[in-house]
Amino acid sequence: MKKLYDVTFRFDPKDYDGEVRAVGLRGEFLFYESGLTGNTDETGMMDCTEKFPPSAYREGLSNIGGIYYEPMVKNAEGIYELTLKLPPEVYPYTFLVNPELGEPSEKLFFMNMTLKDGTVCGMKNPEDALAGRGEVNRMVPDPANPPVAPTVSGHQTNSECYVGTPEECLRIPAADPAKRGTLTYLSYEDVDGAAQSIAVYLPAGYDRAKTYPLVLVSHGGGGNEADWPSQGSIANVMDNLIAQGRAKEAVLVCMNNSVYQWNYAKIARNCEERIIPFVEKLFSVSREVKDRAFCGLSMGSMTTLYMYMHRASVYDYFGAFSGGLAGGENFTLEDPRLKDVVLMIGSGEEDMAYNEREIGVPPTIRALKAKGLPYIPYFVTGSHDWFCWPEMFAYFAEHVLWTK
């Protein structure tokens, strides 16, 4: 049974540059009843009919993407407060200053919020709220817990709330500081001659006398090099898997592919001609294909499948999380090396990537089956969200990488 923690959020108006008339908490604090029957079985996909607020949480419910909103109460000291009971996870959140709620938006559906009674609302003038214009509906990260945005391009908008222990959730920082690796942001020159940033994870006790396998990790559409380290807690996941003896040490590199407008060929060239040589020069990583992997989420998953189809000579392991590639000019399954590399592919149970378009996961899996190509299916609870992707990466790191 999952333990529930009392988590209190506080907002001090003194930390806000402007008038504060009211404050609410908005974040991904929603749950649903999963119908998933197994991680390799697609039974139960895309059948969620109701999302539950924290007050309705019960054992057996799973986290799912979507915004929950609840007004905060001003205490005697003038601090706005709200306490939620939450199971172990990492929850993105912001404060909504001077909220003015309205009807749900069809165009900006991702701005809609579920209330405590289960109804769904929107914001008045959601376009202004999204752009940060005006005095109402200002979405503000927690001043006491700001998002980690260490580079010019690594912009992050949400604070992250860590609930539980590493034993309960791999995304929680390792209890022993000595078991925590390092995360460093470095600048390199890309194929266009421009300065770009990468995030490099080194495992705890990194030793240049050793040689480590290398994993390149891509974010999704609209993302950047800080997404996986910040929103995905990827360093914590690796730290805990390694500390628990569940994964082999590796060097991870998170890059920014948004700057290339998802030109897969250009991304591949940038990785091969600039990122990998840059990392090989600075760190003790293997230069053998058998020790190299590429994985990513959403648009990064499609990029991964491009790498799988066109760069099987460069990487031996591929992890496609929530995105497919089953048609179009980049689609091909003719490389004979595809029989020898390792591909994991899947999505969240309620994932928008689980669709019948050529970028959907099901038609991609059918194409693999039709060609008789090996693959590892892996489906998890959640939707197209940061509850789904760290879990998929954890399975990739523990059960897929370096298994040949």
- Three-state SS annotation for 183-229: EEEEEEECCCCCEEEEEEEECCCCCCCCCECEEEEECCCCCCCCHHH
pTM greater than 0.75 (yes/no): yes
Mean residue pLDDT of the chain comes to 97
Q: 3-class DSSP state for residue 45?
A: coil
Q: Please tell me the distance from the alpha carbon of residue 104 to that of residue 63, in angstroms, as a whole number.
A: 22
How crowded is residue 83: how many other Cβ atoms within 10 Å of its Cβ?
13
Q: Could you read off the pLDDT of 124-170 as tens digits, one per residue?
A: 999 999 999 999 999 999 999 999 888 889 999 999 999 999 999 99
Of 358, 350, 365, 353, the C-alpha closest to 331 is 358
CA 379 from centroid of its chain's CA atoms = 15
- Under the banding of pLDDT at 50, 70 and 90, the label for residue 186 is very high
**Which residue segments constitute the domains of the chain, with CATH numbers given?**
5-162 (2.60.40.10), 170-400 (3.40.50.1820)
Q: What is the pLDDT of residues 75-129, one digit of tens each?
A: 999 999 999 999 999 999 999 999 999 999 999 999 999 999 999 999 999 999 9
CA dist., res. 295 & res. 29, Å (int) = 27
For residues 275 and 268, what is the distance between their CA atoms, to the nearest angstrom?
A: 10
Contact 266, 194 (CB under 8 A): no
Residue 176 CB contacts under 8 Å (≥ 6 apart), including other chains: 243
